[in-house]
Amino acid sequence: MKSYDVIIVGGGVSGMMLAKLLDSTNLDVLLIEKRRKIEIKPNSFGTFSDVARQFCLQNYVRKYFSTWAFYGKQVVTRKSSHNFGCVVDFNAWVRSQKLKKVQFKTNTTIMSIKRIGGSVCITDNRHNKYLGNIIVDATGFAQVVRKKLKLPFTHQTGLSYEIEVRDCKVIDPSEACYILNFDISNSGGWLYGLSKRNAQYGWADFYPESHSTLKNLKRRVHTSISRLQRIAVQLDKAPIVYRFGRFGPTGDVKDRVDDNILSIGDAGSCGTPVTLQGFKQSLESASFASKTILLATKTHDYSKSTLGLYSELFDRVYRTDYRIQKIVKFVYLHWMRQEEVDAWISNFGDLSKEDFFQLLKGPFTFKLIRKTLDVSLVTNIVLNAMNQMLPRVLRFRRTITPSKQEVIDETN
């Protein structure tokens, strides 16, 4: 049985970033991946240019965006900032990694995880055993390590499905679009023109307010393509390069650490409830984990108390932002009709450029949210909230949540 200082389970974005950060240390590190080869799915993600710079990903940027647009059902608000956002090809980044010290075990399924003394023993599908002082769960929504050890884990809080197409017509490849339309989803959609002939398009749902499945969301992604012609692209009959659907948690897990255990990326709920900085958090979670691991191995203390530095670093940056986003998400889902969403998007146009892009990227603050509201919008939100609290026979407005569920329910 081989012993390691660190065993990383999962070769996704956060797992590979942590492997890269630890490769320059003197630690014995093993990365275990279930698939035959390490690859990122989907291969490209939208993020912000400063995130690409922070993690040295500039050479893997497929496309920069200078204009960002919010589309409602009847309105659009857009602002420009040179090369503010981008799409990163994480598969190209993975292929370029030449890690010298980290060992890899691919095509390997974990069968059991048990604590032995002050370490943790992993047994794979070939009956091989690996002993680690620190086990890092980087398995995304699967949360393999946490589940095998019967630790608390995050339940499904999000669902997304996207496609990339070629030979389409993109009117303005410099524009990234975000679409808020309750006829299609209770969360929102996005459209990135990767060139004048290629585009990435997808939608997401919030759980548990949505009763949808990947099959249902896939259908909505494809049937809503015709609505995009007024936005900036024609995707009808365009050949599909890839399609991908996935589940994701967003900030529900209470403990990202336990004795000998760290959970990073989606396995550690490192995604945001509302804003579009989830991949920044996955990457930063790897950075926070690296700093924590170096401290723990230096002191030979792998207790929850010492590994708690990881949660402290994460919460120091994101705790307040998370709390405000959860409030915004609740109001958006439960107390806003499409009319209020369109009015909200219209108000984005009155924001300064700095505030507009902070709304996209975060952090959320109550001061920023107040700038997006007006008396009429607040009045309607309050009336909607009052209406929702009344018995059904006394309601004086259209009920919000059931109407959202109705259009995405499998029986529809």
Q: Tens digit of pLDDT for each residue in 126-151?
A: 999 999 999 999 998 889 999 999 99
Q: Which helix (H) or strand (E) element contains residue 78? A: strand 76-89
**Whether residue 125 sits in one domain with residue 16:** yes
Establish if 90 belongs to a structural domain: no
Same domain (yes/no): 377, 242: no
Same-domain pairing of 299 and 337: no
Residue 48 in any domain: the answer is no
CATH code, 237: 3.30.9.90
- pLDDT at position 41: 80
Domain that holds residue 313: 2-38+106-155+250-321
pLDDT of residue 407: 46
Same domain, 173 and 238: yes
Using CA atoms, how far apart are residues 328 and 340, in angstroms rounded to an integer?
13
186 with 291, same domain: the answer is no
Q: What is the pTM of this model?
A: 0.90
pLDDT of 349 over the 80 cut: yes
118 and 31 co-located in one domain: yes
What is residue 134's predicted lDDT score, i.e. its pLDDT? 98
Asked if residue 331 is part of any domain, the answer here is yes
Q: Is there a single domain that holds both residue 203 and residue 299?
A: no
Domain match, 209 and 194 both: yes
Q: Are 261 and 151 in contact (CB under 8 A)?
A: yes
Among 248, 275, 306, identify where a domain stops: 248
369 found inside a domain: yes
- Is 202:188 a contact under the CB 8 Å cutoff? no
CB 138 within 8 A of CB 14: yes
CA 238 to chain centre: 27
Q: How many CA atoms lie within 13 A of 123 on its CB side?
A: 9
Q: 257 and 389 share a domain? A: no
| Percentage of the chain modeled with pLDDT above 70 | 91
Closest by Cα among 341, 353, 160, 149 to 250? 160
pLDDT higher than threshold 80 for residue 156: no
Dist. CA 105–CA 16, nearest whole Å: 13
| Residue 398 tokens, joined | 């259209």
Residue 374 maps to a domain? yes
| Final residue of a structural domain among 306, 321, 336 | 321
Quote the number of domains for the chain: 3
Q: Looking at this protein, which amino acid is placed at residue 186?
A: N
Rounded Cα–Cα distance for residues 58 and 83 (Å): 12
